[in-house]
Structure 1
Amino acid sequence: HILKKNGVKVVSAKEHISEGPEGIILEAMLEGYAEFYSAELSEKIHRGQKENALKGKNNGGGVPLGYLLDKKAQKLVIDPVTAPLVVEIFEKYADGKSVRSIVEDFNVRGLRTKKGQPFNINSFSSLLKNRKYIGEYRYQDVVIEGGVPSIVPEDLFNRVQERMEKNRHAPAMAKTKEDYLLTTKLFCGKCERMMVGESGTSHTGAMHYYYKCGGAKRRKGCNKKAVRKDWIERVVVRLTMQRVMDEEKISRLIDAILVMQEQEDTTTPALRSQLAETESAISNLLKAIEQGIFTPSTKQRLEDLEGQKEEILVNIQTAELQKPKLTREQMTAWFEQFRHGDPENRDFQKRLIDTFVNSVYVFDDKLVLTYNYQHGTQTILLEEIESALGSDFDGATPPEQY
């Protein structure tokens, strides 16, 4: 925000980035389609891995301590050198030894992990929960009893799990990690400083989550009151959805993005121009050959031009794959997901705000929202919001002591 206010522009060394705010939306679209391709590819990979799992074959990842990978059969087999160490770990823990003391004992004895590193508490914690050691092969919803050769007796494994359960400490006073959706986008209308997420506990023990002006927080002379988190996020989501649901605005946005998409692609037009010149040269050479002008030089020249043409075609295909162009129909379908999304879903709220909201300024009597497209500024009075969503500024902000 500060960089933009001072006229600083970000320039990519790899590709042209649009000057207009619509570029953010185009980037989000391309990322969305790339994510779809990745998900589809992932589904195909998982299908193959599931077939491997049904045959008891290893699906990659690290080989646990105590096992070796039979590369020919693609199955785990017991390592006679390290398997006794696994049994020792389970027996010591079941007999009351702490994980830390077992780790220290192993490291003093000079024992090392499969990667040649000293043992640590984290690696032991996951080891003690690994059901492969009792012969259970598990991959997603595939569970095969006896799919892996067992190392640890089942009764010993169960005793270890019982002790781990008893030793698990409940994080009684730990604060829940809260996701503040408007971080870096919410600003104080009085001093223009960024508003940051905060939390506090009332005398009743209830947690309050809110956004507070950086100037007021650091006592820089601003007296802007804090804004309740769930209220301001709900307001921004609802107002943004109203904007996205406007078919006329969507149509104008798509027009602008289509034009921008053509302007951003500087590689493909240049390659197509080279292709046209090469094809023209090939055509002229073929005409000369038809007229009887055929020498070793013309033959070599024709082969060179055909090679150039093939190389240009490959470069065009590569450029189009790296940065595919979206059609109007694809863009319309992409916008539809926001028109019919669930405003109560946190993932949907995050995608909506990240894609469309540029900034939100909070005043005592109004909100000013700027969206990621030209002329995308909206000012709305709090009394209008109160009539639709209720007030946040009367008793809904955190208590004064916070």
Structure 2
Amino acid sequence: MNLSREIKKGQHENALHAKHNGGTPPLGYDVDPANKMLIINADEANIIKIIFDMTQDRYSYNDVANFLNDKGFKTKRGSTFTKNSLHDILRNPKYTGLYFYNRIAKPILGTNVNSHKYNDPKDMTLVPGGVPAIISQEQFDDVQQILDLRKQSGECGMAYSGNKSANKHNSSTHITYRCGGRRKIAESKCKNISVNRDLLEAKVLQYLAEVIFNPKIIPQIVAKYEVAVKKKDEAATTALRNMKKELAEIKRKSSNIMDSIESGLATKALLRRLNDLDAQEQALTEKIAIEEGRSATPTIDTKKVEALFLKAKELFKRHELDATKRLIDIFIDRITVYNDHIDVRYSLLPFVPEKDTVDIIQTIPINDLRHYKLKDY
């Protein structure tokens, strides 16, 4: 027990100094033998950038894995890439420069380890900047949003996933989306419905086609986006102006106190107040500098939207499974299933910073999920 305690103590000390605590380092990094800290492996870091870039461009796990495997790239252990290995990479904040220790939650006694369960941050050792970053925090955050619960139960909040079953009366296969909460036991088990995959995707694609092939839609969404961006930038300008007014008032109060001190009224209360004002001035000055350093939200390039919609039209015309999956990955932000209806959130401008300003939410009554046949375009 004493030995175990000493080992844990040593690992904790290593973690406080952002040193590698043994085992295979993540793909993209090697261990510096001199100080036991992680350093970037340039060739592997390029693979990490490809993975995040493709995911940000809405390629699926299978698309990314196939691309990497076709190029001959390997995981850190020399294996081919799979959905699980990509999931671990894409969910790993270490690539943003955050060192962490004790992230993986311990299994409940008598169960298997689930490496996708994480401890609360307060139970981890975190060292921001303790690892050289390979990707930006902004890209990491964007990818997390893309991965998070695209098909989700509106009843329990858990993700929907594919479920395959054989038809008892013939040799066909029946595929549905089913809530992961239905596998739980007792009172926590979700009673939300399963949804026929083919019927839901046909309905979604039909609606998407009506949007994509509408010649009036591009100027409409561009105009809506620019109005939203203008409002956001105006709000930011107002906030910055108010901060500068507040800073001027703090400086005026500090100047008055200094005048009093120079007149011989250097009381402890005045000195404490001056220190407080100095701290406020410093904090507000830094905040203003950050706000002034931010560039205005970029306006949208209409030609880029036209190119995106043209690509979507070409995918529609192919009538292939891979093309269908690509369309859904690009334009569907989230699908939430309730007992009596389904909400589908379409992201029509997935490449812009304020993409949610032009999102469309389609509500599909469960009773409307009949067979839909896509038109030929």
Q: Do they superpose with TM above 0.5?
A: no
- Tell me: higher relative CO, structure 1 or 2? Use CA pairs within 8 A at least 6 residues apart: 1
The TM-score bracket by the shorter chain reads 0.3 to 0.5
TM-score (norm 2): 0.36
| Higher-Rg member (1/2) | 1
